[in-house]
Amino acid sequence: MSSSQVAIVTGAAMGYQSGGPSIGGANALRLAKDGFVVVVVDEGEMGARTVELIREQGGEATFMRADVATTTGVKQIVEQTQQRYGRLDCLVNGVSRYSPGMAKSVAEIDEAEWDKTMLVNLGSYFKMCKYCIPLMLKSEQATIINISSIGAFNALPDFAVYSVSKAAINALTHSLAVDFAPRIRANAICPGFVRIANSENGRTPAELTIWYADIAKQYPMQRVCEVEEIANVVSFLASPESSFINGQSLVVDGGKLVSDRHEF
């Protein structure tokens, strides 16, 4: 049994092709830096790279390869965590599905595409919470942090299922906060665009510079968010410094949601 606090981070692989930046990877690295023993969970082999980086920085981590959209996969994670560490103090849900088939309106999207996206984006969060909470209740103060999106509050054209799934994550967070406080606090983080390796899609460095500059124009901060800036918020919500923050959906978007970029 570990005397250190233990965190499970899902979707925690580094960029699937390059090992580059990912939100889940940054979250795992930061919690390890904060002193958590981190269970890195992902379907992708780059989860092992996340563990390597944590160990290089002197932290302790284990990679568990599993599909968190399945009950079998989730139960396996929880059972192995309990057997190995005997406790769970923090759960960070960060799995998210993207596919070309999601880029449809409600009238146009294939039903199977809708169901698969909701199963991953919402169902995995539900299953992880359902099976982790009994172990987390043994901790004096535990935290659940759900990675959502500003897509919960606004909608991209022809991308309906994404916004619906993210809004549902926020609603799930509210229910968790009400049902399990004061033993467990639950909060969501809603990023805007974040620079991650998996979004680069083979663009050249010159193309990326132009692409990021165009995106930055939409944000009052005039730049794109880095993964470490999301991980900083995860660190705060996982710490006693946020001890009275519960049931919130924290927007981390550099002011985009409150900005009207219309030019008169």
Helix (H) or strand (E) holding 227: helix 227-237
Six-digit token string for 261: 């970029």
User: Is 162 a known active-site residue?
Assistant: yes
How far is 186 from 212, CA to CA, in rounded Å? 32
* Structural contact between residues 33 and 57, judged by C-beta atoms closer than 8 angstroms: yes
How far is 160 from 107, CA to CA, in rounded Å? 10
- The sheet carrying 6-10 orders its strands as 61-65, 37-42, 6-10, 90-93, 142-147, 184-191, 249-252
Catalytic residue among 131, 162, 212, 219: 162
CA 39 to each of CA 10, 11, 32, 166, 191: distance values in angstroms, whole numbers, following the listed order: 8, 11, 10, 24, 23
Instruction: Tell me the three state secondary structure of residue 71.
Output: helix
End-to-end Cα, the chain, rounded Å = 62
* Structural contact between residues 87 and 141, judged by C-beta atoms closer than 8 angstroms: no
Amino acid at position 220, single letter: P
How far is 90 from 31, CA to CA, in rounded Å? 9
Amino acid at position 232, single letter: N
Q: What number of other Cβ atoms are within 10 A of residue 231's Cβ? A: 24
Catalytic residues: 162
